[in-house]
Structure 1
Amino acid sequence: MQHLKDFSPSKKLYIETLGCAMNVRDSEHLIAELREKENYTLTDDASQADLILINTCSVREKPEKKLFSEIGVFHKMKKKDAKIGICGCTASALGEEILKRSKNVDFVLGARNISKISTIIHKPKAVEVDLNYDDSLYMFSQNINSSYKALLNISIGCDKHCAYCIVPHTRGKEISIPMDLLLKEAEKLASKGVKELLLLGQNVNNYGARFSIEHPKVDFTKLLSELAKIEGLKRIRFTSPHPLHMDDEFLEEFAKNPKVCKSIHIPLQSGSTKILKSMKRGYSQEWYLNRIDYLKKLLPDVGISTDIIVGFVGESEEDFLESMKVLEYVRFDTLYSFIYSPRPFTPASTWEEGKVSKEVAKERLQRLQDLHKKILTENSQLELGKIHKILIENNKQSEVETFSEGRSDTNRLVKIEGKFINLGEFVNVKVTHAKNATLYGTPC
């Protein structure tokens, strides 16, 4: 027997996602839950939506300024009876304050409470931001149309409490999702045609440290090994691992497992051991470089990306030069670099002594990025003549331009000009030339 709602016309959902891959995955869950349980269909026109969701990020400076600006924009364009809901990390951080500051918001749903979306939409002015809420066992509805790539949360929350980071305050304590649930979901995704899986967690390689139920002892290395056994799954990526948990066993599994892509994000944050200690990162420059050396011994051509913060409280010119030294030594393929911005609820936000001026921080950031641009150019020249197997992720065919592009096992972007290749296809490409970080080549 069908439910009555099955016969009602579908409502329209518009969702804006800000922030990281975790937020993207949360948005996928929100969309799937509302489609399955509340008969919503997705629209890219906010003015036609019955429900507008803003899935927020709070990692960078003053996200609330961006949020309230967006609320105003959507309120002006929305239909008369459409609802506006605020979700994600800024929702967790501000909670009821959002309703106090904007009468146009209908509900607030924190990052740790995403599974409550189908109930909160029926509660006027509701706020659900419980950091202790545990949905690690919750089976979210699945998107009907899976593509060749998919995201998979393996843990929620974070226990690290780095001095600059607001995430523990917005996503709560770290809990791993049981391995049998992960394997079942991964198998479903593979059966729908997913070839590449991106595993998500604030500290993915700390997987297994805590479950909310009794669970056999398991770690991230074991999870990678088990996922690789799934038929149809060709590639496994993950983000973000923590340098502190990169033991030899993990790095050896990463190197030898044929389905694990040979690119890895290893956040540095600072090259100065003094600043790393102040940041409460738990490792030194020596430890970080030791892990890099061992990884490159196992995989000389491994692709490595990182994060670096400049201008952290107490950072001297000498400390900054230590970051420059590590950048030159490791020669990262990708660099995400930022000027430190104080976040509420974090220890460093209250520190006054040793603050770095914006002018000095901007100048340091420019020097860091200039050095990385030079490294990128040199790294790209080393790729000439090499053959990469890429997964086609983007293509275009028109009178003006035809191309296909994708990423290699080592996460290098490779573009094939003059060829239209279907999305999700694997192609071997010989690199012929390079422009900055993008490689160009021909199928072979």
Structure 2
Amino acid sequence: MEDIEDLLIGSGSGSPPGFRLPLTSVGVNTKRNRNKVSLTHKLSQIQDSTSKVPGTQAIFIKTFGCSHNQSDSEYMAGQLSAFGYTLSDNPDEADLWLINTCTVKSPSQSAMDTIISKGKNLNKPLVVAGCVPQGSRDLKELEGISIVGVQQIDRVVEIVEETLKGHEVRLLTRKTLPALDLPKVRKNKFVEILPINVGCLGACTYCKTKHARGHLGSYTIDSLVGRVRSVIADGVKEIWLSSEDTGAYGRDIGVNLPTLLRALVAELPTDASTMLRIGMTNPPFILEHLREIAEILQHPCVYSFLHVPVQSGSDTILTAMNREYTVSEFRTVVDTLMELVPGMQIATDIICGFPGESDEDFKQTVDLINEYKFPQVHISQFYPRPGTPAARMKKVPSNVVKRRSRELTNVFEAFTPYSGMEGKVDRIWITDVASDGIHLVGHTKGYIQVLVAAPESMLGTSALVKITSLGRWSVFGEVIETINPLVDNNASNKKLPNQDMFSLCCNPSKTGGCLDEPESCACGNDSCCSQSTAEKSDISVLPQNQNGRNFFGWILRKRKQLYRRVESEPASGSIKRQEGSLERMSEWNFVDKALLGGIFASTFTILVLAVALVFRAVWSH
């Protein structure tokens, strides 16, 4: 079917977000080769959708892939919510499914196929967004489904409306970049994912994302500064700059990344209550601005953290990948930043088993990782993506690829990146809740993940913590003092339901440096790995329902934390630390006294009630 732009009557440059198109302005798919079952399916969709007032249906949103994808979903959810649609966590009860897809790896696309198939079996109207339809619009799996491209998310209301009426429509034409001031429903109300540009200037031989996101297109500095001002007023405490290559920002509009960063930093509160995190940057472009970037990373309002993908420790393989830099240039980036920025933390990516990779090539990669002992290494097995040059190259046997991936994972997991932190006092910024319901999740200025047992009222604040114990992927801390008490700002940022950007980027069956975190996107974009909340945590960090928590729940979580420490500390190999933990457990502290007091109070209340009931029964006779 044609693009929707070809079917609009007098649409000009397209209708503004939220504009309701008349029924006759978008054509129904009239392909002759549809069978009767498909026609019945379409009619049932129309009947179901017309039973409700237009604009009031429930929408289920499923997001796969990178931080840029997550931001796109948040924008689409914001527009739908502003128009009156309900965002539903329950796919079975939803009237339409909106699926935002990732094309980086085969498992991601396979999962998309699965959810589309399930939706069709349930007769759910489907809209597929993201990189898959933009880069591969003729896929068989997308037949009969409405699709929206990566630069048309500002018109999601139109396509949802027409799909609910039973029409198959598509918006894929690339025009101007979507506006940054569209309504948005954030997954985490304290974190703004800010796309600064789309596409890239590279031509990596394995990358499918370029097919979808296209050539570099940068937002203006003024528009980005305006967005930062707006989200700070909304109460955002972390701003993540996201793109396919942050370092390439501005080359299409005559500016550069340091100029943008200086303009954004000038807008941040001087008390460092809102922090800026710079997204992934490939070595070729950051090389030109190393000292300027280092200066910005030292700023009190900027995390001293950067994601710089290397992908391989062999120049031969980097040439085959068309990465446009050498291992020596990568070393220059890392060495310079580590020298100039105190507490600098660097994450990188590795692709194991790229076509043509020899044992010697792989050894060079292992040696590089061993030398630098990066705290984060996102390890991926090579996936040939259809339509890319690498897909036509001679493949390394799959058993060799898996063996190399396991070997590199074992090397990486032998590191102890946070040794020496125990007992130190550091400042953290707290923005999330751990899935265990006990800990809040904060990050140091170097973006090291710190888990603390504290009431949820501390979300969105900054605090001084004492590091009490170390894990492999994060550290545990105890709050000493709150620095920025949270003022209840605009509460319109609701949690975006069913944002599962991790579920496909991370495949637990694979080996890699981050088994429970999203794997690095093979294209090396900011995406999956950077969207990880930095380090892989000892506890999976996912958004949690924050309702129904109280002081007594915090007391129980605090007590549970002490037991967790006793269980986790022996793994560090320190018998003395274990004995110290057991001694602490045997002491009567505030938590124990509070729990015992609660037990006595409850018992006394029950006894009084029992006596009252007995007397009442006696007097009634």
TM-score by length of 2: 0.64
- 63, 70, 82: which one pairs with 2:115? 70
Matched, 1:25 2:71: yes
Match of 2:310, SS?
Answer: coil
Match runs of 1:19-168 below 5 Å: 19-36=65-82, 38-77=83-122, 82-98=124-140, 102-103=143-144, 105=145, 107-121=146-160, 122=162, 124-130=167-173, 132-135=174-177, 139-143=181-185, 147-168=189-210
Give the superposition deviation at 1:326.
1.3
Query: Which amino acid is the alignment partner of residue 69 of structure 1?
Result: T
Matched, 1:383 2:425: no
Looking at structure 2, the residues matched to 102 and 239 of structure 1 have their Cα atoms a distance apart, in angstroms, of 35
Hey, what does 1:266 align to over in structure 2?
308
Match of 2:177, SS?
Answer: coil
Match of 1:73, SS?
Answer: helix
- 279, 282, 293: which one pairs with 1:242? 282
Give the superposition deviation at 1:77.
4.0
Equivalent pair of 1:112/1:170 in contact (CA under 8 Å): no
Query: Which amino acid is the alignment partner of residue 364 of structure 1?
Result: R
Structure 1 pair 4–137 and aligned structure 2 pair: CA distance change class (3 A): closer
Matched, 1:439 2:493: no
- 420, 432, 438: which one pairs with 1:394? 432
Match of 2:343, SS?
Answer: coil
1:174-203 deviations in whole A, cap 9, x for unaligned? Answer: 110111111111111000111210011111
Hey, what does 1:366 align to over in structure 2?
406
- 214, 229, 241: which one pairs with 2:266? 229
Give the superposition deviation at 1:312.
0.3
Query: Which amino acid is the alignment partner of residue 416 of structure 1?
Result: V
Query: Which amino acid is the alignment partner of residue 127 of structure 1?
Result: R
Equivalent pair of 1:91/1:98 in contact (CA under 8 Å): no
Hey, what does 1:328 align to over in structure 2?
370
1:92-134 deviations in whole A, cap 9, x for unaligned? Answer: 12213346x654x3x011223322322223262223233x432
Looking at structure 2, the residues matched to 4 and 313 of structure 1 have their Cα atoms a distance apart, in angstroms, of 50
Equivalent pair of 1:163/1:347 in contact (CA under 8 Å): yes
Equivalent pair of 2:152/2:178 in contact (CA under 8 Å): no
1:310-341 deviations in whole A, cap 9, x for unaligned? Answer: 10011111111111111112211111100111
The structure with the larger Rg is 2
Equivalent pair of 1:255/1:298 in contact (CA under 8 Å): no
Equivalent pair of 2:194/2:241 in contact (CA under 8 Å): yes
Looking at structure 1, the residues matched to 228 and 454 of structure 2 have their Cα atoms a distance apart, in angstroms, of 35
Structure 1 pair 396–379 and aligned structure 2 pair: CA distance change class (3 A): closer
- CA-based RMSD of the aligned residues comes to 2.5
1:257-288 deviations in whole A, cap 9, x for unaligned? Answer: 22110011011111111111111111101010
Looking at structure 1, the residues matched to 202 and 370 of structure 2 have their Cα atoms a distance apart, in angstroms, of 28
Equivalent pair of 1:391/1:426 in contact (CA under 8 Å): yes
Looking at structure 2, the residues matched to 138 and 434 of structure 1 have their Cα atoms a distance apart, in angstroms, of 40
Equivalent pair of 1:63/1:90 in contact (CA under 8 Å): no
Structure 1 pair 77–382 and aligned structure 2 pair: CA distance change class (3 A): farther
Match runs of 1:273-288 below 5 Å: 273-288=315-330
Looking at structure 2, the residues matched to 90 and 9 of structure 1 have their Cα atoms a distance apart, in angstroms, of 27
Hey, what does 1:220 align to over in structure 2?
257
Matched, 1:194 2:231: no
Looking at structure 2, the residues matched to 15 and 68 of structure 1 have their Cα atoms a distance apart, in angstroms, of 15
Looking at structure 2, the residues matched to 437 and 64 of structure 1 have their Cα atoms a distance apart, in angstroms, of 29
Looking at structure 2, the residues matched to 269 and 144 of structure 1 have their Cα atoms a distance apart, in angstroms, of 31
Looking at structure 2, the residues matched to 227 and 406 of structure 1 have their Cα atoms a distance apart, in angstroms, of 22
**Equivalenced residues, count:** 422
Match of 2:458, SS?
Answer: coil
What is the identity percentage for the equivalent residue pairs of Structure 1 and Structure 2? Answer: 26
Q: Give 5+ residue unaligned stretches, structure 2.
A: 1-18, 22-52, 481-621
Looking at structure 1, the residues matched to 452 and 137 of structure 2 have their Cα atoms a distance apart, in angstroms, of 47
- 407, 410, 429: which one pairs with 2:443? 407
1:63-110 deviations in whole A, cap 9, x for unaligned? Answer: 4322221112223446xxx521111111112213346x654x3x0112
